[in-house]
């Protein structure tokens, strides 16, 4: 078995084109995708950093005072008046907006600067700010009337954007829209509750905007995601490469020589599987090392973290070995290189898409996510992401079982189908 | 030692080899001669247990190896027509791999590697990758790889195809030494008549999947004992002259060659005067005339009506 392993590794090491495909290309893809899509990943908001101008035409405190004074002119119970006055003080719409923008998640990317209308206009034209948020006159007073008393025309925030194609402006517009929608919903809910005599106290404050995260663990940045996504995809190419050599061996009649040596054909098959597994593990190790060294994708100092990564890598490599054995079996059985060509030219791409190597599957239809989880690369990516986010072995058990199961099935099929006679 | 009986191989209903029976005695060097497509390689595949015969049997020391090929494989070395090597590896690495799969390791493995490298004269270049070798050197490593496990029988399928005359001569001499000095039994296939004449004690001639003649070189040449070959070298081609010679009732066979015309005529038949007269009539300029006793090439031409390289 060692002879087959050594031979396969030496052949690969001497083939610079193949080495470049298996090592250089994935790293280049990691760098390109990591940089270009880092703004879209949770955990990495630097690309969305933005300056926003705030034009304040409202006197918030005066608005609250006017609203409170107005309450005393209405025929309301003293207790109700006191409650509404307190609510106006605490839930002033502008204050709520300020709190939202000052939240740790948003403060990281949005920097709000209060300006005069003319200065804000200039800043927008000079592209120093991506948007102008204008608080109109009597905003507080009119908003409180509508929110707490259900009277008056209400009010609107004004958002001015110069470049409507800007992702950052789009993000800010979405945030403000979400804020307004949530405020309106809260207002409606409060009014209905008041009419129905239901108390909303203790229900907690309604969340206004905020960042959506895909899991309960640490967010994954784009370099981490694509290091893992691209690495698990390129492991599939290792299987195709090792199996593809079978056809070269057949064409060169080296395969016949091996069969004539009286070695059991399973030795040859086993050699392919072990070679692919070892090459895949080495490939994963090199890609993780490079990403950590050059892109600081992962931390160096946690032995526990790397042991977990090694465990998932080992399972994926095992599966890559079984896949190589299966492709080898089909190549020998059908006496054709079409199997590996179709696999590396088409099936890997489909698996990569389904498995989430190119784009995260969050938001995709359930059926795609489910299918992706049954691909070796998809299950491995899930396992890697779970480990990076949660560092909990229990969280990766399910995908690891799937990878192991796939490996066992592929290897069993290979053993069952490989032509043991070696003669045709 | 090794014999086949009625070997037949069909592919999709078409017979590539039909009823081939041959034998090799221990220490013999036997040639399997035939043009491309005659069925030599398919026959070799069946003898070497790489292809299962559609019918017929292959026996080693009287025991069939069709159902259990292991006995044959352990004593057999096969040199395929293709360069069956890893071109990315060095000669040493290739031989090491093929030695290891035959169960060799450690010092015996290294000894065997150096022995076969010496045999093929490549000790000095053993650390270079095969892809940097010339065609002749690759062929020599191809032979060395088949010798790693010290086989008793070696089957060589056109081992000198596409190489320079110097390498070819080296390989032929090497095969001769393996047979004569080391007692290796050799089955040598070729479509180069002179190689078989030089190396082999006995010859089987194949055409269209069947053996059409066999025997020692002298036995085969005796097929044409009543004939002789006349080579007529001309300054250019004379189709009318050739046509007239071909129609001549006394001429057994006529073939155009690069330099003129080759005739097989009954031995003792004095035809030269008649040939000269015909040439004169067609105003053909004869540069040279050579009368030869028959070669294996002539035998093949006689038996099949075509040249070996057709």
CA-angle at B65, arms to B60 and B68, nearest 5°: 140
A195-233 pLDDT, tens digit each? 555 544 444 333 333 333 334 456 778 888 999 999 999
The predicted structure's pLDDT at residue A193: 58
C-beta of residue A14 within 8 angstroms of C-beta of residue B129:
yes
pLDDT in tens, A139-194: 888 888 887 787 888 888 888 887 766 667 777 887 888 788 777 776 666 666 55
Exposed / middle / buried, residue A19 (Cβ in 10 Å: 0-12, 13-18, 19+): middle
**Which residue is associated with the tokens 């193949």?**
A18
pLDDT of res. A421: 61
> Could you read off the pLDDT of A47-64 as tens digits, one per residue?
567 888 999 888 888 888
Q: For B145, which residue in chain A has the nearest alpha carbon?
A: A257
Asked if the model's pLDDT at residue B302 lies above 80, the reply is no
Average pLDDT over residues A245-258: 87
The alpha-carbon gap from B79 to the nearest alpha carbon of chain A, in Å, equals: 9
Instruction: Give the torsion sign (CA, A261, A263, A268, A274).
Output: negative
**Please, what sign has the CA dihedral across residues A285, A291, A294, A296?**
negative
Cβ pairs bridging A and B (under 8 Å): 73
3-state secondary structure A191-230: HHHHHHCCCCCCCCCCCCCCCCCCCCCCCCCHHHHHHHHH
Interface ipTM > 0.85: no
* pLDDT value of position A45: 53
Mean pLDDT value across residues A77-89: 79
- Nearest Cα neighbor of A283 from A324, A234, A345, A240 is A234
C-beta neighbour count of B62 within 10 angstroms = 7
Map A19-66 to HEC letters: HHHHHHHHHHHHHHHHHHCHHHCCCCCHHHCEEEEEEECCCHHHHHHH
Q: Do the chains contact at B88 and A14, CB–CB below 8 Å?
A: yes
- pLDDT over 80 (residue B310): no
What mean pLDDT is predicted for residues A310-337? 93
Tell whether B145 lies on the interface with A, counting CB pairs under 8 A: yes
Mean pLDDT of chain A: 83
Q: Is B55 on the interface with A (CB under 8 A)?
A: no
CB A158 within 8 A of CB A81: no
Whole-model pTM?
0.67
Which two tokens mark A166?
A: 């800007």
The pLDDT, as a whole number, for residue A217 is 54
What contacts A217, CB < 8 A, 6 or more positions away?
Answer: A386, A388, A389, A390
Q: Is B76 on the interface with A (CB under 8 A)?
A: yes
Q: Which residues of chain A approach chain B closer than 8 Å at the C-beta?
A: 2-4, 6-7, 10-11, 14-15, 251-254, 256-263, 267, 421-424
């Amino acid at each position: 078995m060692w002879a087959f392993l050594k031979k396969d590794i030496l052949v690969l090491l001497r083939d610079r084109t193949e080495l470049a495909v298996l090592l250089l290309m994935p790293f280049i893809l990691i760098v390109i995708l990591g940089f270009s899509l880092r703004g879209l990943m949770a955990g990495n908001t630097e690309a969305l950093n933005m300056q926003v101008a705030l034009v304040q035409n409202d006197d918030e405190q005066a608005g609250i005072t006017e609203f409170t004074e107005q309450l005393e002119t209405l025929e309301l119970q003293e207790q109700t008046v006191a409650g509404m006055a307190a609510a106006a003080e605490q839930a002033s719409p502008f204050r709520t907006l300020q709190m939202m923008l000052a939240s740790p998640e948003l403060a990281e990317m949005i920097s709000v600067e209060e300006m005069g209308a003319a200065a804000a206009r200039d800043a927008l034209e000079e592209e120093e700010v991506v948007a102008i948020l204008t608080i109109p006159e009597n905003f507080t007073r009119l908003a409180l009337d509508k929110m707490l008393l259900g009277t008056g025309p209400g009010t609107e925030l004004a958002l001015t954007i110069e470049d409507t194609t800007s992702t950052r402006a789009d993000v800010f517009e979405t945030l403000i829209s979400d804020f307004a929608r949530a405020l309106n919903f809260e207002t409606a809910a409060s009014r209905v509750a008041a009419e129905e005599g239901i108390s909303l106290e203790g229900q907690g404050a309604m969340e206004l905007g905020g960042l959506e995260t895909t899991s309960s663990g640490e967010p994954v940045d784009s370099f981490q995601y694509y290091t893992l996504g691209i690495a698990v995809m390129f492991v599939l190419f290792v299987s195709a490469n090792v199996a593809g050599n079978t056809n070269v061996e057949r064409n060169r009649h080296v395969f016949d020589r091996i069969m004539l040596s009286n070695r059991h054909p399973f030795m040859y098959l086993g050699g392919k599987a072990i070679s692919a597994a070892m090459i895949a593990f080495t490939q994963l190790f090199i890609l993780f090392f490079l990403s950590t060294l050059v892109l600081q994708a992962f931390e160096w100092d946690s032995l526990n973290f790397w042991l977990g990564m090694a465990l998932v890598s080992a399972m994926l490599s095992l599966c890559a070995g079984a896949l190589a054995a299966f492709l080898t079996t089909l190549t020998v059985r059908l006496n054709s290189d079409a199997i590996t060509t179709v696999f590396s030219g088409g099936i890997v791409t489909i698996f990569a898409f389904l498995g989430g190597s190119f784009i995260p599957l969050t938001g995709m239809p359930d059926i795609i996510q489910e299918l992706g989880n049954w691909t070796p690369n998809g299950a491995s990516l899930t396992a890697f992401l779970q480990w990076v986010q949660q560092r909990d072995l229990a969280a990766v058990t399910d995908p690891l079982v799937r990878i192991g199961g796939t490996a066992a099935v592929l290897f069993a099929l290979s053993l069952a189908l490989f032509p043991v006679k070696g003669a045709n | 030692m090794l014999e086949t009986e009625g070997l037949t191989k069909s592919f999709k209903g078409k017979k590539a080899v039909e009823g081939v029976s041959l034998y090799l005695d221990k220490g013999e060097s036997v040639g399997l001669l035939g043009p491309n497509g005659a069925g030599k390689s398919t026959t070799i595949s069946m003898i070497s247990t790489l292809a299962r015969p559609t019918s017929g049997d292959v026996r080693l020391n009287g025991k069939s190896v069709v159902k259990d090929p292991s006995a044959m494989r352990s004593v057999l070395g096969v040199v395929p027509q293709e360069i069956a090597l890893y071109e990315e590896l060095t000669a040493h690495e290739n031989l090491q791999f093929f030695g290891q799969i035959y169960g060799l390791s450690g010092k015996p493995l290294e000894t065997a590697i150096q022995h076969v490298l010496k045999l093929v004269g490549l000790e000095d270049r053993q650390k270079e990758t095969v892809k940097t070798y010339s065609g002749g050197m690759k062929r020599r490593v191809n032979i060395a790889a088949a010798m790693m496990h010290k086989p008793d029988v070696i089957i060589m399928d056109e081992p000198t195809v596409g190489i320079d005359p110097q390498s070819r001569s080296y390989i032929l001499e090497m095969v001769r030494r393996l047979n004569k000095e080391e007692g290796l039994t050799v089955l040598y296939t070729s479509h180069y008549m002179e190689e078989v004449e030089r190396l082999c004690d006995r010859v089987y001639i194949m055409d269209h999947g069947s053996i059409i003649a066999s025997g020692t070189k002298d036995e085969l040449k005796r097929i044409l004992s009543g004939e002789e070959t006349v080579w007529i070298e001309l300054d250019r081609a004379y189709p009318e002259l050739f046509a007239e010679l071909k129609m001549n009732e006394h001429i057994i066979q006529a073939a155009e060659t690069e330099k003129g015309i080759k005739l097989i005529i009954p031995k003792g038949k004095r035809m030269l005067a008649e040939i000269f007269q015909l040439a004169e009539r067609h105003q053909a300029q004869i540069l040279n005339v050579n009368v030869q006793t028959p070669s294996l090439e002539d035998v093949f031409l006689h038996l099949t009506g075509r040249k070996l390289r057709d």
